Amino acid sequence: MSKQIHWVIDYETLKNCTILCAEHYKEDIEKHFVIARGRNDILQLVSFLEECRDNNQWHISFNGLAFDSQITEFILREGARMYYELEDPELIANEIYKIAQNVIERQSMGIFLEYYERSMSIRNIDVFKLNHWDNPAKRSSLKWIQYSMDWHNIKEMPIHHSTMITTEEQITEILTYCRNDIKSTKNIFFLSKNQIALRKSLTEQYGINLYSASEPKISRSLFLQFLSKRTGIREYELKQLRTHREIIDVGSIIKPDFFEFKTKEFQDMYDKFSNLKIRVESLKGSFKYSLKHKGVVTDLALGGVHGAARAGIYRSGNGKLIVTADVTSFYPMLAILNGWAPAHLPADVFCELYKWFFDERVKISKKDIRNYVYKIILNSTYGLSNEENSFLYDPEMTMRITVNGQLTLMMLYEMISLGLPTSVPLMQNTDGLEMMIDEQDYEKYMEICRQWESMTNLKLEHDFYEQMFIGDVNNYIAVYKEKSVDQLTYNEMKASNPHYAYRQQGGNYFVKVTKCKGRFEFHDLPLHKNKSFLIIRKAIYNYLMFGAPPEETLKNNRNIFDYCGGVKIKGDWFFNEVCYKKGIRKDRKLQNIVRYYVSHNGCKILKVNKLDGREINLVSGRWLQTEFNEFEEKDWKDYGINESYYLDQVYKELSHIEGTSNKNQLSLF
């Protein structure tokens, strides 16, 4: 994008009212156009859109490619006609409304939209698509992202789209809502600036419009271009290719001469996989198997391995080491080393290209943009083999990688466990293991790892943890051993990761890095994740890492958003606020996304089933909640925060980890 004017835009389309709000992508310059009773800005709107088109002024939006840009294209093509033929602004707005409803209906039915990105008159950046928030695992509305970035106002549209707009007050209300949405979209655009710079560079280098592309789409597009050049098959023809299967015989895709297990629990696991046949139509969740070894349960499924020791605190020291080993580029390397490819593609060319991306990434500095791009391609290509809309689709390739990957990792697990009888398994995940071993056994541990590397041709990356605080397999804090760094690195890390442990001694600088997962994550959370009650996570972290009493963390944190939770409704449910005033119950239906905090003088927020009237407390027990969808600045005491609730949750988690029953028993080790 050149240094010129570009616009963040958002449409509101109601039955007899159309509004477009636009704001300069850098400056506080706003425009808005209204087509409704008593006001007809259709020609001014067409003129604005034509100016954007003719001067290469881009539009930035949230889900704009699938909605806003469809409306824009229609108005550009039909706006002038509507003005002269329909004349009445309400009739014009109704025509636009019908188009908008058709766009929404086509999306819900999975029907292709009228206008493709390449045919649009005005170029777009869609921050919804770019961040892959249309993916089922990350699906997020603008309201949810507003909640995640602590936006001051996350209120939903106050007027239903079918409402007939008859007053200036209604128009003002819609405009206020619309302006709030574009300002928040503008903030998302700012937060995404590094990702946009990456896509700009890729677009210019490879001649593919990737401005609104998610990382999987970047991977798919670039791999397609490279593969087309290497095979001589046109991109269009490659895009049509797929391998569809009904049943996958897992036993037939396991490497027959590779695996050797010595203990019954591992042999039983291997036999279970060897005799497994799965129907592709019911692939997800169709297989689960649990292996118990040294008292630790490891769950295996078709997608990966997850296991952990019981909740607790595990420390290096006193002759013990916590070692962690991750397989380098595990899934890509399994495909490369074994010559696995989608059945409809030449395996030699596919694997040669896949390896080229791996080799090139190793050569390139991490500061080079290509390093990140090749990482995307390496990591996404495996996933695309299980996507029906991808030209790499072949679910058998997916299963070859995941099943053999699990068995390969389990072989390392057994080798270490048998080779070091006193070792304690702490965690097993899709691409690595954490073990506690005797310090005197470290060389033997490394020897076993090298033996495994020799057998598999895979490589392991090793490190040490000082401590692990384990809640369960998905929720833990791992503390790496303190490392010496130079002053520049020290200052950069302290600025970007202030929660790490930092220490200076003379002219030497030391950093203790942590990895937080699941309900212990609190720093730089992806915006699609639920960050509810960050104050609880911070208090737990500060206690475990620095011995700070939870009460101290709460006392020192007066950020109201850290005390807020967020929920979104699904299916046949709605949120209902129930308050009692002088013994009389008062109900208020809430919107589909609710931000709230636990308070002394609030109400109860309930999930209510539309079909049978069931009511479920959002927060169980005696605790009350205050809805906080619109920020209001107050003195801290006036919020009425019930700090007892937050401390109660902190101490429950700490008791779970430390194995104590109440906060009086907790020890500041």
Backbone angles phi, psi at 234, to 5 degrees: -60, 150
* Residue 360: strand, helix, or coil: helix
Residue with tokens 């992202």: 145
pLDDT at 3: 63
Q: How far apart are CA 347 and CA 16, in angstroms?
A: 58
Nearest of 79, 149, 114 to residue 529 by alpha carbon:
149
CB within 8 Å of 576: residues ≥ 6 apart: 587, 588, 589, 590, 605, 606, 607, 608, 615
The DSSP element (H or E) to which 556 belongs, if any, is: helix 550-556
Residue with tokens 């791992």: 478
pLDDT at 99: 96
| Predicted model pTM | 0.93
Q: What is the 3-state secondary structure (H, E, C) of 448-496?
A: HHHHHHHHHCCCEEEEEEEEEEEEECCEEEEEECCEEECHHHHHHHHHH
pLDDT at 624: 97
Distance of CA 613 to the CA centre of its chain: 33
509 and 483 in contact (C-beta within 8 Å)?
no
* Residue 1: strand, helix, or coil: coil
Write out pLDDT tens, residues 381-402.
988 999 998 999 999 999 999 9
- In residues, how long is the chain? 669
- Work out the number of other CB atoms within 10 angstroms of the CB of residue 190: 12
- Work out the number of other CB atoms within 10 angstroms of the CB of residue 457: 11
Nearest of 401, 397, 410 to residue 271 by alpha carbon:
410
- The one-letter amino acid at 344: H
Residues lower than pLDDT 70 in the chain: 1-3, 660-669
> Which letter, b or e, does each residue of 614-641 get, where b requires 16 or more Cβ atoms within 10 Å of its Cβ?
eeeebbeeebbbbbbbeeeeeeeeebeb
DSSP code string of 112-129: PPSS-GGG-SS-EEEHHH
Q: Are strands 7-14 and 59-61 parallel, antiparallel or unpaired?
A: parallel
